[in-house]
């Protein structure tokens, strides 16, 4: 949907979000309190700008299995999964969560992807018994840490309920993370999406509040997501992203299923190579009252230095994909960096984004004369990295080691030194 504005934005204290979450409330006056309440499982988040696409027909699940990275032909009613649609080079084009009710497969994705996803699926159905419908105008989505009550207020029935499998390894999956032995920080992550009739959104929220639930903004949901290292299509996925870089092999890819577009790249990187980039978790310096913008450069200084010019001269090794303020950890972020970046190195985030200043009197004339003011200096944030995707992840995942690895063959006629 374009230029969407949630009816919940009309509530007192609501502050509008922007970018990928435009049209929703970033918070309702107290983002820290909202985040704590959400974390306790007593708040719902308005995600009504999300897209909802349905697939019906007896061939729907087997058909989606042939198209996507995931094996969903055995999905039972009420079960949840995640699937990717890749291009021929294995890059992520769509990331959708899926649940099936026995007659309809419900796909939920970002607001900018629903129409494109529905059109793409419709073009791929050929002679199969499937029907694809973009239902975004009919249904809204609410997010929550705990599932919403089975009996929703105002006698509303949920059209679909999805539970995030992250970070549990699904069938045919593999972990690219560095922390399985010590415990994944998302081990306690719980996230539910509930699809309800759009016309009932306000009534359902009011009824939940009568049952001692509260309403939280997108800032709260994003903070918990980043803390759990959970990638998001609108943030962590760019035009070059492949599943391995984001550790999405664990929930969205079945490595042993049949052919699908992009499978060759998925298999080649997993069995023979390494992803060129890796997702990393950043603990940001909290001395600044701001957060770096999405897309801010990540630098790896050769030597520790506090000199801004020296830092700016360093080569960028990645970009920030998400930056949030967590109610316990403070400012944190996710970033995509080059695989060979030293995991022990202290990183620096360089944010060149500055708020537009009010134009000064005579500024146009000064600009015309080449005397315009210089751009504001960038802001630097010291960042301690925590490994998500291992630098060596890829060809060693699931490979037997030790005696099972053959030594290189020696050319005939050569002896042993």
pLDDT for 365 equals 43
pLDDT digits (tens, 9 = 90+) for 83-134: 999 999 999 999 999 999 999 999 999 999 999 999 999 999 988 999 999 9
pLDDT for 54 equals 98
pLDDT for 309 equals 55
Do 108 and 195 touch, CB atoms closer than 8 A?
A: yes
pLDDT digits (tens, 9 = 90+) for 51-75: 999 999 999 999 999 999 999 999 9
pLDDT for 396 equals 52
d(CA 300, CA 347) in angstroms, rounded, equals: 5
Do 383 and 348 touch, CB atoms closer than 8 A?
A: yes
7-250 against 276-354+375-399: fold identical = no
**What are the tokens at 312?**
């700016």
**96 contact partners, CB below 8 Å, separation of at least 6:** 53, 82, 83, 85, 107, 108, 109, 113, 117
Q: How many CB atoms lie within 10 A of CB 151?
A: 10
Within the chain, which residues score under 50 in pLDDT? 1, 354-372, 398-417
CATH architecture of 276-354+375-399: Beta Barrel (2.40)
**267 contact partners, CB below 8 Å, separation of at least 6:** 255
Strands 160-163 and 192-197: antiparallel
Distances (CA, A) of 67 to 95, 155, 224, 414: 12, 37, 31, 50
Q: Which residues on adjacent β-strands are paired with residue 160?
A: 195
Domain boundaries, the chain: 7-250, 276-354+375-399
Give me the half-sphere count of Cα atoms (radius 13 Å) on the Cβ side of residue 106.
Answer: 29
**340 contact partners, CB below 8 Å, separation of at least 6:** 391
The matching CATH number, chosen from 3.30.1360.120, 3.30.1330.60, 1.20.80.10, 3.30.360.10, for 7-250 is 3.30.1360.120
pLDDT for 182 equals 64
Distances (CA, A) of 80 to 96, 300, 308, 311: 11, 39, 48, 45
pLDDT digits (tens, 9 = 90+) for 193-225: 999 999 999 999 999 999 999 999 999 999 999
Do 84 and 71 touch, CB atoms closer than 8 A?
A: no
3-state SS, residue 15: strand
- Report whether the peptide linkage leading into residue 167 is cis, meaning its omega lies within 30 degrees of zero: yes
């Amino acid at each position: 949907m374009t230029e969407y504005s949630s009816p919940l934005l009309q509530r007192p204290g609501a502050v509008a979000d922007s970018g990928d979450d435009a049209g929703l409330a970033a918070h309702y006056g107290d983002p820290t309190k909202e985040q704590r309440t959400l974390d306790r499982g007593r708040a719902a988040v308005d995600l009504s700008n999300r897209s909802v696409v349905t697939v019906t027909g007896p061939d729907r699940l087997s058909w989606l299995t042939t198209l996507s990275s995931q094996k969903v032909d055995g999905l039972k009613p009420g079960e949840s999964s995640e699937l990717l649609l890749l291009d021929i080079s294995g890059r992520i084009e769509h990331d959708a969560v899926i649940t099936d009710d026995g007659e309809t497969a419900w796909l939920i994705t970002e607001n900018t992807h629903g129409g494109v996803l529905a059109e793409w699926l419709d073009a791929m159905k050929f002679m199969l018994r499937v029907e694809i419908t973009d239902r975004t105008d009919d249904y809204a989505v609410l997010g929550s840490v705990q599932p919403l009550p089975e009996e929703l207020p105002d006698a509303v029935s949920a059209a679909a309920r999805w539970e995030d499998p992250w970070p549990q390894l699904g069938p045919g999956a593999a972990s690219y993370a560095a922390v399985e032995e010590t415990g994944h920080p998302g081990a306690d992550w719980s996230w539910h999406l509930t699809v309800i009739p759009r016309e009932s959104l306000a009534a359902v929220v009011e009824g939940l509040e009568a049952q001692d639930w509260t309403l939280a903004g997108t800032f709260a949901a994003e903070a918990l997501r980043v803390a759990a290292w959970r990638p998001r299509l609108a943030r962590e996925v760019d035009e070059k992203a492949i599943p391995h870089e984001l550790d999405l092999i664990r929930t969205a890819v079945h490595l042993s299923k049949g052919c699908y577009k992009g499978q060759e790249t998925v298999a080649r990187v997993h069995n023979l190579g390494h992803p060129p980039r890796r997702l990393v978790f950043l603990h940001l310096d909290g001395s600044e009252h701001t957060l770096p913008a999405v897309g801010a450069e990540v630098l790896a200084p050769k030597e520790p230095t506090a000199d801004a010019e020296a830092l700016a001269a360093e080569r960028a090794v990645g970009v920030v994909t998400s930056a949030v303020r967590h109610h316990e950890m403070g400012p944190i972020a996710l970033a995509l960096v080059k695989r060979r970046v030293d995991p022990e190195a202290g990183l620096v985030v360089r944010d060149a984004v500055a708020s537009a200043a009010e134009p000064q009197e005579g500024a146009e004339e000064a600009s015309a004369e080449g005397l315009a003011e210089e751009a504001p200096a960038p802001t630097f944030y010291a960042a301690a990295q925590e490994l998500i995707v291992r630098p060596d992840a890829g060809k060693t995942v699931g490979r037997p080691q030790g005696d099972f690895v053959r030594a290189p063959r020696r050319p005939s006629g050569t002896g042993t030194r």
